[in-house]
Amino acid sequence: MSTDFHIVVCGSIVPDPLQTLKPVDGPAGPALQNEMMLPAVLDPWAGHALYEAANLAKNYPGSRVWLVSLGPKAKLQQVMMSVSQKAPFELVVADGSASGFTDSFETAKILADTIDGIADLDKSKLLLFGGWQSASRGSGAVMQMVGEMLGVTEQFQGVDRITIGSDGSIEVMERIEGGSYQKSIVDAAPAVLGWATGELPEPPNNPQIGMQNMQKNMPALQRAQPADLSGSSLSFESVEVPQQRRETRVVKDVPVEEMAKEIVEWLKA
């Protein structure tokens, strides 16, 4: 049986995790200090989804991969120069904020509308990939809402591996509590897969793939339409970086029960 997929990966950019982030109150609400100056990377969770998508497409000829990204196109262009060397994909951009302070529902709506606008997408072959979580938002809700808005109800979160059967069925390995996995089988696409870390390493840079990607992706960046995220009633009273707190006391010959009790009292305080 011939099997091919149309794989849409949702993923945006986040500040490089090695940077020190400081929240500030901006004219449009909370933001990061010097956010547009911070070096950015592809969200690591979305990166795992992209590499899994590219590997799946390579193994099933005729498959296509789109990376749908909501973010400021100037920053996206910088990041895509390196990401495009990792795997072949077609970029679709919505030009807007990639901030972790944007509303999850509004983000999902923009992504769903953008995916709906992909001319060659066959939804009967759709596998919607994305990060189970996000390095900028961490709500774990965006992919679920995008799937619902697109009418895809077969959804799996915390995925580490999928196996395609000869009949087109998809066996999914999802993380559950206690370091265990839940194995599920869906008859066929469409399906939503929120990836954890997967099982693939980060691909090496391939300048040839990068040049082929950028020939398609630069025009996609230029055609990016502004994304309106102003419809949310979400508001923040305040934002701050969690404060580090360390209190050390060296003691000897203290019973374990007494130490445990003292730790509990300290946490309560």
Collapsing DSSP to helix, strand or coil, 51 comes out as helix
Element (H, E) at 79: helix 73-83
**Do the Cβ atoms of 151 and 162 come closer than 8 Å?**
no
Tell me the pTM. Answer: 0.81
Q: pLDDT tens, 167-226?
A: 889 999 998 887 888 999 999 889 999 998 888 888 888 889 989 888 888 888 888 888
Closest CA to 214 of 81, 95, 69: 81
Residue ranges of domains in the chain:
6-226
Would you say domain 6-226 falls under CATH 3.40.50.620? yes
pLDDT digits (tens, 9 = 90+) for 84-130: 998 899 999 888 887 777 888 888 899 999 999 898 899 999 999 99
**Residue 156 bridge partners (DSSP):** 193
Give the orientation angle of helix 142-149 with respect to helix 104-116, to 10 degrees: 40
Q: What is the DSSP letter of 248?
A: -
